[in-house]
Amino acid sequence: MRRLNRKKTLNLMKELDAFPKVPESYVETSASGGTVSLIAFTTIAFLTIMEFMVYRDTWMKYEYEVDKDFTSKLRINIDITVAMRCQYVGADVLDLAETMVASADGLIYEPVVFELTPQQKELQRMLQLIQSRLQEEHSLQDVIFKSAFKSASTALPPREDNSLQSPDACRIHGHLYVNKVAGNFHITVGKAIPHPRGHAHLAALVSHESYNFSHRIDHLSFGELIPGIINPLDGTEKIASDHNQMFQYFITVVPTKLHTYKISAETHQFSVTERERVINHAAGSHGVSGIFMKYDISSLMVTVTEEHMPFWQFLVRLCGIIGGIFSTTGILHGFGRFVAEIIFCRFRLGSYRSTSVPLPDGHTSNHLPLITDNSTH
């Protein structure tokens, strides 16, 4: 009884076999089939390698939502060199939320030489080249995000020439915290002094001929400081053509959460629009000489996540490649053989019709004569 049930089960499984086996004596091979098989295997191997490279690669996914965090502080990272002595310039932030001066105690004023060394010029030239490429190819930003913490900081390396030249510039670097509202960070003549109605700079003791707001922005970023991330103003250098020159940067800051396989950080991206003009009150161009960075915080927050193709999806795509190539090449090979057989059959039929056979009554027949036993003798 058990054997009978086993036989029934075995017969049922054989009936459900979706892959019928063909005896080898029924299989016919051909040179054309071998050629098509070779092409199919080569194509499968090539596409499999390409698919594996896609599987190993990652991409960045961007999601947008409203930023609901307005209570935390915004960190501003600054590294700017101005072509004036440190005792002549002052930097502070005007917070538009309460119309008051935010504390800039976190900034360091360091006397330096404005002229760069050859090594520093090479790094600055590289940053400027990257900035120009980023403006043309925005996909490079994804590469920078994925390679964060792999690259060194974008700050210039220290001087190695031990120059005896006296410092003629002031490097203002450090960080400060402000409210997450629009503000104005500026560097102008004189140190900032508190004032009941706002703020003022003590510029009366500075000679007008010593004004020179040529500057170099080695680094400017908002939020958490992430080495390897290149910001839009890194490597910027501006040379003033007049003593009374104003440089303005209008910055829109976008809160960004960065999640990659290497880091997870909260930073800020920003876009910038530049403008510069000479102050000439007689010509109607009013203002104050200096460097002004007016920033505004976007209400949208961007979440950038590095994603990877799941392994099951890779297997499905791989099976689709293998099965699709086999099926397609089989159909094309069968269609080619069908067309070839039709052409050859017509050619043979035409050659058969051109053969004439004489008949006893003097007529001719284009049909092939029947082959009989007598004709073979």
CB-side neighbour CA atoms (13 Å) of 118 = 1
Cβ contacts of 269 within 8 Å, gap of 6 or more: 253, 254, 256, 302
Question: Where does the pLDDT of residue 370 fall: very low under 50, low under 70, confident under 90, or very high at 90 and above?
Answer: very low
Question: Where does the pLDDT of residue 375 fall: very low under 50, low under 70, confident under 90, or very high at 90 and above?
Answer: very low
Residue 55 has pLDDT above 50, yes or no: yes
Q: How many residues comprise the chain?
A: 377
Residue for token pair 């909260």:
266
Question: Where does the pLDDT of residue 376 fall: very low under 50, low under 70, confident under 90, or very high at 90 and above?
Answer: very low
Give residue limits of the domains in the chain.
32-58+308-332, 62-307
Residue 103 has pLDDT above 70, yes or no: no
Residue 371 has pLDDT above 90, yes or no: no
3-state helix, strand, coil in the chain (%, to 5): 35, 35, 35
State residue 214's pLDDT score: 92
359 — phi, psi (to 5°)? -105, 160
State residue 27's pLDDT score: 67
Residue for token pair 């990652």:
58
Residue 354 has pLDDT above 80, yes or no: no
Residue for token pair 């090539």:
46
Hey, CA dihedral for 171, 175, 179, 182, is it positive or negative? positive
pLDDT in tens, 291-321: 999 999 988 898 988 888 889 988 999 999 8
Q: How far apart are CA 16 and CA 8, in angstroms?
A: 12
State residue 160's pLDDT score: 62
Q: How far apart are CA 321 and CA 319, in angstroms?
A: 5
Q: How many of the other CB atoms lie within 10 Å of CB of 244? A: 17
Helix axes 311-353, 31-56, angle to 10 degrees: 160
State residue 273's pLDDT score: 92
Q: State the chain's mean pLDDT as an integer.
A: 78
Q: How far apart are CA 175 and CA 354, in angstroms?
A: 99
pLDDT in tens, 264-293: 888 888 889 999 988 877 777 777 888 999
- Contact in structure between 254 and 141 (CB atoms under 8 Å): no
Residue 184 has pLDDT above 60, yes or no: yes
- Contact in structure between 214 and 238 (CB atoms under 8 Å): yes
- Contact in structure between 301 and 67 (CB atoms under 8 Å): yes
State residue 363's pLDDT score: 53
- What does the block give as tokens for 154? 């974008």
Mean pLDDT computed over 331-346: 78
State residue 253's pLDDT score: 92
State residue 241's pLDDT score: 86
pTM higher than 0.85 for the full model?
A: no
pLDDT in tens, 189-242: 877 776 666 666 766 677 777 788 999 998 899 988 887 788 888 888 999 888
Residue 362 has pLDDT above 70, yes or no: no
Residue scoring higher pLDDT (134 or 224): 224
Q: How far apart are CA 82 and CA 168, in angstroms?
A: 9
Question: Do the bridges between strand 300-308 and strand 245-259 make them parallel or antiparallel, or are there none, so unpaired?
Answer: parallel
State residue 295's pLDDT score: 93
C-alpha to C-alpha distances, 153 to 139, 157, 225, 227, nearest whole angstrom? 21, 9, 10, 5
- What does the block give as tokens for 283? 């010509």
Residue for token pair 């698919």:
51
